[in-house]
């Protein structure tokens, strides 16, 4: 189980100071009476009725601290202004869902999950949508064993409709992974390796076969679309909500990668990169392969022990966690803060960090084991 530790020194935690305190007053013997006529009774009968409690009130001790994004280095010009400023930098998306913030938290078995996606400054400035997307699913077998599935997709910046491709690919990949687990709960890793081309073809076709006027779908006909127009990367994790090795309580996450969306294993407040180092620099290259119509993916198992956590990210977060194989200040802070589950608003705040050149969309999903 997790040992609660002090917060990191990298930045303050205003969220933890927020307290909403309400008291419902229900005094003893607080009753009022009213007269009502009971059938067959000549005299009114006094019936005691408990008085409803007054509306809950905030006490004098309640406080509401502002939510402040952590800053690393000089604050960005964009981030120095409120979104409603006269500069008009933070634009409403011209079409579709802007998805400035999207978040999910929850539990299954002994797992805890927090995931959020935040629109980057460059897309806010250009009135474009968040091109990242994610999908989550759970699978519970008849024998009671449970799994959690997380898929993170990053739409390629040059692809006109990549937000749609990322959204649909992540949703449909999560679906076929859940179907595979249900069909072969003890051999799904082997099946994914042997049938990865067929799996990816199935998901790719589901993205390409969109209906005209479907929500958030491309605004051009299907016979005019190209793969490049909707291309995205993909990273997924399947984590069992139970230990597979009874002696040391180890479980094995199955992970798949196409493209440059990185992943990390957090153990003893240290990040260990799970995916391949693309070019040796610790920065994931923007010249990356895409998931749609791909015939192969990197598949591997990752051992997870009690107290560890798995982080899936788009490169808008992952590229700032480490540099030249060493953790950055952001990486140090998140290793401390995310050593155990955090509140949803705190998690969104952490992913909304400010640092120079970090203007891309950000998506982060953390799965904690043995919570």
Chain segment 153-191, per-residue pLDDT in tens: 999 877 788 999 999 999 999 999 999 999 999 999 999
Position 54 scores a pLDDT of 65
pLDDT score of 310 more than 90: yes
Confidence (pLDDT) at 366: 98
Alpha carbons 306 and 248: distance in angstroms, whole number: 9
Phi and psi at residue 48, to the nearest 5°: -70, 135
Q: Which residue has the higher pLDDT, 206 or 27?
A: 206
Among 368, 371, 339, 338, which Cα is nearest to 353's?
338
Tokens (6 digits) for 298: 């990197």
Residue 232 scores a pLDDT above 70 = yes
DSSP string across 200-238: HHHHHHHHHSPPTT-TT--SS-GGG--HHHH-B-EEEEE
Placement of tokens 């649909």 in the chain: 168
Task: Using the CB atoms, write b or e for 107-141: b if 16+ within 10 Å.
Answer: ebbbbbbbbbbbbbbebbeeebbbbbbbbbbbbee
Lowest average pLDDT, out of 87-96, 207-216, 244-253, goes to 207-216
pLDDT, position 139: 98
Q: What's the confidence (pLDDT) of residue 57?
A: 62
Residue 47 has pLDDT above 60, yes or no: no
What domains does the chain contain, in order, with CATH numbers? 86-368 (3.60.40.10)
Residue 332 reports pLDDT greater than 50: yes
- Contact yes or no for 14/57 (Cβ under 8 A): no
Segment 104-115 mean pLDDT = 97
Alpha carbon distance 305, 265 (integer Å): 10
Helix (H) or strand (E) holding 194: helix 188-194
Distances (CA, A) of 46 to 26, 29, 227: 22, 16, 78
pLDDT value at position 39? 45
pLDDT at 306: 94
Helix (H) or strand (E) holding 257, with range, is strand 251-258
Average pLDDT, the chain: 83
Q: What's the average model confidence in pLDDT over 251-256?
A: 97
DSSP string of 62-114, one letter each residue: -B-PPP---EESSPPTGGGS-TTSTT--SPPPSSS---SEEEEEEEETTEEEE
pLDDT at 146 over 70: yes
Average pLDDT over residues 99-127: 96
Give me the phi and psi of 362, to 5 degrees please.
-125, 130
Which pLDDT does position 99 carry in this prediction?
93
């Amino acid at each position: 189980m997790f040992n609660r530790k002090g917060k990191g020194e990298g930045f303050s935690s205003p969220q933890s100071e927020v307290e909403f305190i309400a008291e419902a007053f229900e005094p003893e013997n607080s009753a009022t009476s009213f007269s009502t006529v009971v059938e067959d009774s000549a005299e009114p009968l006094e019936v005691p009725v408990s008085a409803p409690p007054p509306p809950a009130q905030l006490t004098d001790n309640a406080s509401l601290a502002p939510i402040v994004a952590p800053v690393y280095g000089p604050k960005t010009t964009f981030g120095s202004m409120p979104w409603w400023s006269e500069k008009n930098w933070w634009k409403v998306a011209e079409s579709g869902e802007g998805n400035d913030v999207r978040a999910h938290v929850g539990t299954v078995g002994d797992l805890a999950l927090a995931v959020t996606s935040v629109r980057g400054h460059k897309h806010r400035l250009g009135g474009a949508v968040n091109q990242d997307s994610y999908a989550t699913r759970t699978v519970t077998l008849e024998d009671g064993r449970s799994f959690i599935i997380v898929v993170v997709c990053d739409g390629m910046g040059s692809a006109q409709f990549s937000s749609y491709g990322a959204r649909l690919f992540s949703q449909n990949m999560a679906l076929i992974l859940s179907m595979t687990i249900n069909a072969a709960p003890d051999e799904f890793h082997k099946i994914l390796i042997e049938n990865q081309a067929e799996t990816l073809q199935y998901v790719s076709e589901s993205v390409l076969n969109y209906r005209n006027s479907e929500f958030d779908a491309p605004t051009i006909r299907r016979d005019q679309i190209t793969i490049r127009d909707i291309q995205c990367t993909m990273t997924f994790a399947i984590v069992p909500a139970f230990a597979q090795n009874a002696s040391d309580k180890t479980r094995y996450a199955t992970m798949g990668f196409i493209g440059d969306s990185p992943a990390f294993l957090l153990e003893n407040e240290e990040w260990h990169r799970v995916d391949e180092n693309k070019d040796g620099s610790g920065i994931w290259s923007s010249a990356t392969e895409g998931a749609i119509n791909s015939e192969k993916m990197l598949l591997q198992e990752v051992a997870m022990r009690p107290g560890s956590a798995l982080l899936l990210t788009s490169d808008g977060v992952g590229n700032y966690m480490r540099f030249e194989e060493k953790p950055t200040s952001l990486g140090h802070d998140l290793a401390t803060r995310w050593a155990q589950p955090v509140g949803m608003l705190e998690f969104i705040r952490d992913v909304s960090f400010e640092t120079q050149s970090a203007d891309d969309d950000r998506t982060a999903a953390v799965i904690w084991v043995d919570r």
